[in-house]
Amino acid sequence: MRDKYIIWPIYFDAYAPRGKRKVSKELAVKNPNIDEIFKAAKKLGLNPVKEDKAHPSRWWRKEGCIAIDMKGKKNEIIKKIAEIVKENRKEKGE
């Protein structure tokens, strides 16, 4: 999938080390799941597709990942997804 970015839950995990986490501690959430990342990507119009895979550094956890359209810089997209996930969690009271 050369025309897609791959987004992993570890990018948003508050417990992950900064080398694996792609967002600041302020935007990170505890135990992010693929469904909430998928919903955020869908809200941004990135045509997300779920894939049943494990991140190489957490090969024992089949968390999955999503493939999204390349509509901008990956870091900017990750930050926008993180903001939406964080906001959705606030609305739920988590």
> Could you state, in order of their start, the residue ranges of all structural domains in the chain?
4-92
pLDDT digits (tens, 9 = 90+) for 5-58: 999 999 999 999 988 999 999 999 999 999 999 999 999 999 999 999 988 888
Q: What is the CATH architecture of 4-92?
A: 2-Layer Sandwich (3.30)
Query: Which residues have C-beta within 8 Å of that of residue 12, sequence separation ≥ 6?
Result: 21, 22, 23, 27, 28, 29, 32, 37, 78, 81, 82, 85
Looking at residue 1, its pLDDT comes to 54
Looking at residue 14, its pLDDT comes to 95
pLDDT digits (tens, 9 = 90+) for 50-84: 999 988 888 888 889 999 999 999 999 999 999 99
Looking at residue 35, its pLDDT comes to 95
pTM of the complete model = 0.90
pLDDT band at 2 (very low <50, low <70, confident <90, very high): confident
